[in-house]
Each structure stands twice: as C-alpha cells, then as structure tokens.
Amino acid sequence: IEGVNAAPTPAQREYFTEIQTEFRQRIVEVNKFTNESVPQLNDALRRANAPTVIAGKSIDVPQE
C-alpha cells in the first residue's frame, strides 16, 4: 500500500525472513556458477579458439 507509515505486520516479517533465506541461497548458487561453471566453459571455449565469457566478481552473501 502506497504511503503507509506503519511497522510491518508479523506475517510480513515472516515472509521477509523466508525470502531473505531464499535470496542468500540463490546468491550461493550464482557464485558457484560463476566460480565453477564459467571457468569450465571458458576452458572449452579456449580449446575451440572462441571468445571467453567474463563473469565478474562473486557476490558477497549478506549476513543475518
């Protein structure tokens, strides 16, 4: 609701906790892909004399 200045309800707090946990899990998955799968892909691309993928840095996982 737009413009409401009230504390979150218990249900909203619970939902936030759920999605925060899921968000952390997804960051771990993205980092695994970036750190493991992309280098493997780049090795295959190099063997084929193809351009490689630049994945960027890992994402810091937020602490609770």
pTM: 0.71
Q: What confidence score (pLDDT) does residue 36 get? A: 95
| Domain-located, residue 40 | yes
Domain count, the chain: 1
pLDDT in tens, the chain (64 residues): 577 888 989 999 999 999 999 999 999 999 999 999 999 999 999 999 999 999 989 999 887 6
Tokens representing 30?
């993205």
Q: What confidence score (pLDDT) does residue 50 get? A: 98
Q: What confidence score (pLDDT) does residue 61 get? A: 85
Q: What confidence score (pLDDT) does residue 1 get? A: 57
Angstrom distance (rounded) from CA 20 to CA 61: 11
| Domain-located, residue 37 | yes
Domain of residue 35, residue span: 18-47
| Domain-located, residue 22 | yes
| Domain-located, residue 62 | no
Length of the chain in terms of residues written: 64
